[in-house]
Amino acid sequence: MQYATITGWGKCVPPATLTNDDLATFIETSDEWIKSRTGISQRHISHVNTSELASVAAQRALAAAGIDGSEIDMIILASASPDTLIPNIASTVQANIGASCAAFDINAACSGFLYGLGLASSQIKSGQSKKVLVIGAERLSFYLDWSRRETAVLFGDGAGAVVVEATDVAGGVLGYELNNDPEGRDILKAGFGTAMDRFSAESLDFFIEFDGQEIFKRAINGMNKLSTKVLEKCGVDKDEVDLVIPHQANERIIDTLVSRMKIPKEKAFVNIANYGNTSAATIPIAICDALEQGVIKPNQTILSCAFGAGLTSAALLLQWGDRVTPINISDAELPPCDKTGIELVKRAVDYFCKPQTVSAKQ
């Protein structure tokens, strides 16, 4: 029997940051207001496209696994903010790493990485693939109306990737559960797509919008339900879980989730303070950080769960392998950035936060 095990990991976050104090210079908020409600202190703002973030994360994951891009059988890239819809940006990553394989994007919003990891494990367990590259990458700053405090304070840019390989050693992905609740699909959305009137300048005013209270409630219920289901499916008691790596949307959601599941808070890995919500990238970035900080230990049982627009939800149970250090270190880097976070968002801030006439918008 083949098992699907993570053998490589890598993250890429752009160098420019936007702190809570920076946000307070153009919207009515404060560091204390944001941190007390979300746990976020800063977020990264990208000066490059999503595919570039994804490519660097992918190259670092390949190096950590000690393999070349040409050995990859499939690339699954989760993103709700790709550079282009046609072609998919998995093909851009494929070209950048020198792979010759199947490559496609998926959009399950914040649950996208776990959707991809679940699909990768199924490909491997079926014998269809031996090595799969799974990436979560987002440039959510593209979607923000910076005058809307409820969303402007939450989101950031970044990417994370893992290499999943076939092995005869029991462990790896033990099981996963995926779900979608279409009744709530309109409580978290951005009006970008073919439903737009491409001949109207007003169509360009697309942005992320959501019902915060409803999202909070449904996120906890969705992740709790699927986490419980995957534990039961795998025959693993919650007390046997060594570490929980949840989607990093809001620290309050994480605290409430583990409390409801009766899992000690110290078992939940939280790094939202440094990145904000990077959607499909939050979990792979968190995996990288947990490894760098020595939180992930060999052979640990790890529960990961997520919730996002759609309304998607996912939970995955993983037994980590023996290795927690990379085989090699990649020298892949983003091109230099000569601007601060405030400078990178200035054009959008000027557009959304200052009164404008119709002719100015046109």
Q: Which tens digit of pLDDT belongs to each residue from 149-200?
A: 989 999 999 999 999 999 999 999 999 999 998 887 788 878 788 887 888 8
Task: Tell how many helices (H) and how many strands (E) occur in the chain.
Answer: 12, 13
Helices (H), 126-250: 149-152, 212-234
Looking at the predicted structure, is the pLDDT value of residue 99 above 60?
A: yes
| Parallel, antiparallel or unpaired: strands 243-246 and 301-308 | parallel
Measured CA distances, 10 to 55, 140, 160, 263, 301 (Å): 10, 20, 6, 28, 20
pLDDT at 355: 60
- The residue with greater pLDDT, 186 or 33, is 33
* Residues tagged active-site: 110, 247, 277
Measured CA distances, 55 to 100, 324, 345 (Å): 15, 22, 23
Could you give the 3-state DSSP secondary structure of residue 69? helix
Looking at the predicted structure, is the pLDDT value of residue 82 above 80?
A: yes
End-to-end CA distance of the chain: 60
- Count of CB atoms within 10 A of residue 299's CB? 11
- Phi/psi of residue 41, nearest 5 degrees: -110, -35
Query: Of the candidates 303, 176, 306, which has an alpha carbon nearest to the alpha carbon of residue 247?
Result: 306
d(CA 215, CA 256): 13
What is the residue-averaged pLDDT of the chain? Answer: 94
Measured CA distances, 326 to 10, 57, 62, 192 (Å): 9, 13, 9, 39
- Count of CB atoms within 10 A of residue 233's CB? 14
- The residue with greater pLDDT, 74 or 309, is 74
pLDDT single digits (tens) 305-361: 999 988 999 999 999 999 999 999 999 999 999 999 999 999 999 989 876 443 344
Residue 29 burial (C-beta neighbours within 10 Å; 0-12, 13-18, 19+): middle
Nearest-Å Rg of the Cα atoms of the chain is 20
